[in-house]
Structures are given as structure tokens and as C-alpha cells.
Chain A
Amino acid sequence: MYQFDYHRPTSLDEAAQILSQDDEASLLAGGQTLLPTMKQRLAAPSQLVDLSGIAELKGVREEGGQIVVGAMTPHDTVANDKTVQAKIPGLAHLAGAIGDPQVRNRGTIGGSLANNDPASDYPGAVLGLGATVRTNKREIPADDFFQGLFETALEEGELIKEVAFPVPQKSAYAKFHNPASRYAIVGAFVAQTDGGVRVAITGAGPCVFRVPEMEQALSSNWSADAIKDIKVSADEFNTDLHASADYRAHLVTVMAKRAVQAAG
């Protein structure tokens, strides 16, 4: 690890200010990606701005028919929250299947979304439910937030404050996990929402994406059978030690079917 300065601000404004004054500063949420990266000397931020001291970033609440999750809420809290379990069981299940207990107790939704790792789980729920990412500056719809490999719509000096999830009629997440790391090789999030049926796939490509053909098929016939013959192209998909692109393309259909079955 290289040398860095450490800050633990108590307000969002203070955190944003430190960030805006130094291009090399990094935000520290749960540290489940950033800290191992720093330990391997693959990242060398000049300053770490630890967000754990900002009370308003933590917790889950209901607000105007939506479930709002603070950016610094750990996965384990979301997984075990009674409101989330009752209103969006697919989201609770997803949060409970991230990594291992250590990761779930440290890792946060804000950190996961800002990093936008192609194999992370949360982008599936955020895009699959059509959630809204609220920052210190604006509200960003999920369809605009995820822009590419580790790329988001977040600008310099912009911090995620919370995520507002609309409550769907039905939703479920089905994950084919990497047997070593427990990241998603392919994760499918399906939902019936007020804005229509949504199918979001994470893990397979460089960035989470929707499958319009499946959404259309499920709109007229909500069943696994309706999408069993819909294949996606493997062209842009990831190939690594654990799965090649064409295997991932196959798994997209399999996991989407399982998610529809799980949603009931």
C-alpha cells in the first residue's frame, strides 16, 4: 500500500468538497474492492474520504411507495430488512447472495454501484427495477446510470446519496455464481413494474444491460416458456477463466428463465 491521507467527514458537503479539490482523492465506502486494490498497489489515491461517518447515508426507509436505500447501507442490512423482504423480495435475495458474510457486512450498495464492476450483483436490481440513483447533485435514472465497463454517469465530485427502488408487482434474481469469488458469472433480474416488464442481465457483458426481446415476450406471457428460445449474442460478452462468452450467452437465457420461475 502506498501512503495516503485519511479523512472521515461527517457531512456529504464536506466529503464532496475534499473530493472536488483533489483529482487523486478516492471515496471509501465499504472498501471491499478499493482496499484490496490498494494493498496490491494497483491503486494509489492521494486521499481517502471515508463515508462511514455520514449518518444520513445509512439505512433503509419507505418513502412515497418506494424503498430508499442509503448509499452506505451494507448488503447484509438490505438482505435482512423486513420492509425490503416484504416489498421487494428479489432485492433482499440479491443482497443476501453477494460474496460472503464478511463482504455483506462491509460492502455497500453505493460502493458497488459507483464501481460498476461488470460481475457485481446490484446493477442487476437497479436496472431491473428501474430504480433512481440520487446523488448530491441530481437524480439519475438507472437506464442512464450504467454506461460501460466500470463506467457510470457520475461526474467529478459527485457522490451517490441513496437509491430509490419502485416497488414491483413481482421480481426475482437468479444468479450463476463464480465458484471461487461468488461474483455473478451471469445474473438475471426480472420484474413486473408499473413501467412494464424489465429484464436486466449482469455479469455477462462489460456492463449490465436489458433484453428487450425478453421483456416483450414476458409482457404478453409471464412464463419461463415465453423466453426459452430467446438467445442473446455473445459478441460483446466477457471471456475469462471461469466462463467463455458463448457459455455466458447460453446462461443468460437459463438464468432469465429461472428468475421468472422464482418470481412466480
Chain B
Amino acid sequence: MIVEGQVHGGIAQGVGQALLESAVYDPDSGQLVTGSYQDYTMPRADDLPSFRVGMTETPCPHNPVGAKGCGEAGAIAAPAALMNAITDALGTEDIQMPATREKVWRLAQQRLAPAAE
């Protein structure tokens, strides 16, 4: 259960990185604009789907109990999965994380009306 929980947390972190989290500084003053959670978007439970976690267990050969880290797994795979899905759907690879709702909307609008560019 600890392992599944860690993977859930890792996926949440990965989803946050891919879609939500962005540290923004004011270009003129250098002030951190996203200095509180009113502006910096942490992923929350209702931003996420339910997870089903599957595992392949391969004990680590370098320590007596075979233990190894696992929490990072979700954080590594989630951004890749999401960004691949988004770039595939929009037909462009030119989108920086986080792929916010407005960025995705803007790219979709460009796809709909290429003549207007």
C-alpha cells in the first residue's frame, strides 16, 4: 500500500508539472508572482483521475533486502504520457510545460484557423 500511495503521489506531481505548476517572475521587478497557492497551482485530488497501479517486481541485487526507490516512477512517466497525448492531439510539438488550458485552447484555435495567422 505504501508503494501504491507513493506512485499515486508521483503521478500527481507529474500531472502538476505537465499541466498546472508554473513559477512566474515579474520580468521588470524580479518579484515572484506565484508566491502563494492562490496563484501557484498545485495538483489537487479533483484535478486527477483514479489510478490503477500495476507492478513488475525486480529485487535490487545490491542490498540484502532487495529494496529500491519507487515513488519517482509516476513523476517520471506522467509528464511524458500527458505531453505525448497533447502534442499528438494538437499536431505540434511546440508546447512548453505546463500545458495550461489556455495554451491548449490557443493552439487548437490556430489549428482551426491557419489562414488567420
A contact set with B: CB distance below 8 Å:
179-181, 241-244, 247, 250
CB distance from A38 to the nearest CB of B (A): 15
A180 contact set on B, CB distance < 8 A? 37-42
* Sample of 7 A–B contacts (CB below 8 Å): A179-B20, A179-B47, A180-B40, A181-B38, A241-B22, A242-B39, A247-B106
Residues of B within 8 A of A250 (CB): 105
Kindly identify, within residues 30 to 55 of chain B, every residue whose CB is under 8 Å from any CB belonging to chain A: 33-34, 37-42, 47
User: Is A241 in contact with B33, judged by CB distance below 8 angstroms?
Assistant: yes
Contact in complex: A247, B102 (CB < 8 Å)? yes
A41: shortest Cβ distance to chain B, in Å?
15
Q: Which chain A residues border B101 with CB–CB below 8 Å? A: 179
Q: How far is the CA of A181 from the CA of B47 in the complex (A)?
A: 13
Is B80's beta carbon under 8 Å from chain A?
no
Main secondary structure on A side of the interface with B: loop
Q: Which of B90-108 contact A (CB under 8 A)?
A: 100-102, 105-106
A181 interface neighbour in B20, B39, B105, Cβ under 8 Å: B39
Shortest A187–chain B CB gap in Å is 15
Tell me if A243 and B102 are in contact (CB < 8 A): yes
- Check B34 against A244 for contact (C-beta < 8 Å): no
Which chain B residues (1-47) contact chain A, with CB distance < 8 Å? 20, 22, 24, 33-34, 37-42, 47
- Least CB distance from B80 to A in Å reads 21
Chain B residue numbers with a CB within 8 Å of A247 are: 102, 105-106
Which residues on A sit within 8 Å (CB–CB) of B33? Answer: 241
Name the B residues within 8 Å of A242 (CB-CB): 39, 100, 102
CB distance from A104 to the nearest CB of B (A): 15
- Nearest Cβ distance between residue A126 and chain B, in whole angstroms? 24
Q: Which residues of A contact B100 (CB under 8 A)?
A: 242
